[in-house]
A = this chain, B = another copy of it.
Amino acid sequence: MSPDETGGLRERKKIATREALSAAALRLAMEHGPENVRVDDIAEAAGVSPRTYNNYFSSREQAIVAALSAERALRVGAALRARPADEPLAEAVIAAVLAPYTSAEEPSGEALTLITSNPALRKAFVQTLTEIEQPLAAAIEARTGSAFTSTVLAAAVSAAARVALESWVSPAPANPLLVVPQGSLAERLHEALARIAPALAAADPG
């Protein structure tokens, strides 16, 4: 017995495989360039069959990027739950979304450079932000009580964060109107979320 807190052996093995795959994917992409990594290489490096690789990730980019966004979704949800219950919802949400980025472990800049310099990887990376939506919605619902409202708000928050992340990882677009003041990712996230805050406040029962 004593399944500890991490489920059975089966589940741990699954997690290990997933991590091995994404780690291998990231390493190979950095060594040879993202275009020169075939799915078969990743699978081989992780010691599984190519078919199994596809049981874990449904695209090469997803595997590469997963290493940088692994548990973010869980963290955000947990962070929001950890905020004091009497804190205004807007503040709590902003703090929770920022949580994964304020801890001093900005993902190895080298990997970030790799990702930002490749359109497909950028897209996949930004895409991972949508993973926070469900945990966020659940955590918001715990405060507001309304499932529909919290789903909408979580989607809005996630979308705002996505815009912030996009503006941070994307090279200045041709359009000079879209320039955003340079700054850390945390700053941009804060800026973007501040625009959503009024909607959060309106739903705040506190």
Contacts and interface: CB of A to CB of B under 8 A. Distances in A.
Interface stretch (A19-27, A79-87, A191-199): A191-199
B148 A167 contact: yes
Given A196-B199, A199-B199, A160 B155 contact: yes
Contacts of A152: 159-160, 163-164, 192, 195-196
Interface residue tally of chain A, by bracket? 20 to 34
Interface SS majority for chain A: helix
- Copies per complex of this chain: 2
A203 interface: yes
A195 B141 CA distance: 14
A15 interface: no
A164 B148 CA distance: 9
A201 B203 contact: no
Contact of A195 (B149, B177, B191): B149
The 6 residue pairs across chains A and B that have the minimum distance between CB atoms: A159-B159, A155-B159, A156-B156, A198-B198, A198-B202, A199-B199
17 contacts: A147-B177, A147-B178, A147-B179, A149-B195, A151-B178, A152-B159, A152-B163, A152-B164, A156-B156, A156-B159, A156-B196, A156-B199, A159-B159, A196-B199, A198-B199, A198-B201, A198-B202
